[in-house]
Amino acid sequence: MELTGEIGRGAWLLERVGGWGRVGGSAGTGFEAYARILHPVDARRVVSPDADEPGERAAIDAARWTWAEVAARNGRVMHPLVQWCRLTDDETALSFADGWQVSPSVEGMLEPDQLAALTEHLRLSTAAADDVTAGVWNGWGELHGNGAVYVFVDADADPVERATERARAEAERRDSVCADVRRAAVTGPFLEWPGRDFLLFGTSLTELADLRRVSAGECDPGWGIGGVLPQLLWPADRSWVVASEIDWDSTIVAGSRTLVEEVLADPQFEAYEVDEDSDLTWDGDTLNAETSARRPDL
């Protein structure tokens, strides 16, 4: 992706911003149809070590769950405006009797593999697959050098080794953001969306589909934006918009009826049709607000 100061690229979309907390407030109004893609849920289970094998450590089973699986286990209802806080009674995570634990979905961006899969549908719905604008929220800590750093080392590792590994990880984070991007995240210019300021980049669907590039986070030849993914995408012919509001754990695809139907039919996504006025705040999930008091025994 290449940083651009051509903020006028987004002027057309600013003219179509809908109400706060509504689908159109994230992806713009006036499209033929809208799909909401729920971000996948990370699930894990600690497997106890074999008592007959001294020194064997606990293992971790990891899986990707749908929201529907969490809803079924917790006696909730799946519907287009479902909210995680309603599925889990305002809990950020849940533990089940069989040892599985689930954590909230990633907020503010699609998983890289889901973004790559989505580009296959987006490509069929635009004549400008090589001329795409990406909007990245300027508030990500990674862009300012203060994002969280996670270092996984052996519990018995030497303190010097731990410090060295942490220093290496911090250097990688710092170097994963190009200098011009770091400056622009502070000084702009920005696409001034209501309540959100975005840096704009030029990209293509081919680049967005390249998982190696998405996950690299390097200045050259990678994206140079610290591993974060775009919150806004649209092609030069304005045929669709993909929007991941930074506080939402779902992504909106706005475009033609054909595009939305293809996304809804793709088993790679857990998706529902919504409209530009759909309420995606917590209060929008009225069905599970009514059932939350009847939580079953986990």
- Which DSSP state fits 195? T
Which pLDDT does position 68 carry in this prediction?
97
How many Cβ atoms from other residues are within 10 Å of residue 294's Cβ?
A: 8
Which pLDDT does position 29 carry in this prediction?
98
- Which DSSP state fits 105? P
How do residues 220-234 score in pLDDT, each as one tens digit?
334 556 678 899 999
Which pLDDT does position 48 carry in this prediction?
67
- Give 290: exposed, middle or buried? Use CB within 10 Å, 0-12, 13-18, 19+: exposed
Which pLDDT does position 71 carry in this prediction?
95
**Contact criterion met (CB below 8 Å) for 1 and 199:** no
Q: SS3 for 168?
A: helix
Which pLDDT does position 149 carry in this prediction?
43
Nearest C-alpha neighbor of 71 from the set 295, 283, 279 = 295
How do residues 119-163 score in pLDDT, each as one tens digit?
999 999 999 999 999 999 999 888 886 554 444 445 556 676 666
Which pLDDT does position 59 carry in this prediction?
61
Query: What CA dihedral angle connects 80, 84, 86 and 91, to 10 degrees?
Result: 180
Round to whole Å and give the CA distance between 227 and 25. 25
Which pLDDT does position 276 carry in this prediction?
98
Q: Where are the domains of the chain?
A: 2-37+106-294
How many Cβ atoms from other residues are within 10 Å of residue 74's Cβ?
A: 21
- Reading the block at residue 22, the tokens are 């509504």
Low-confidence residues of the chain: pLDDT under 70:
48-59, 145-158, 160-176, 211-226, 290-298
Q: Which residues contact 22 (CB under 8 A, 6 or more apart)?
A: 276, 277, 278, 279, 280
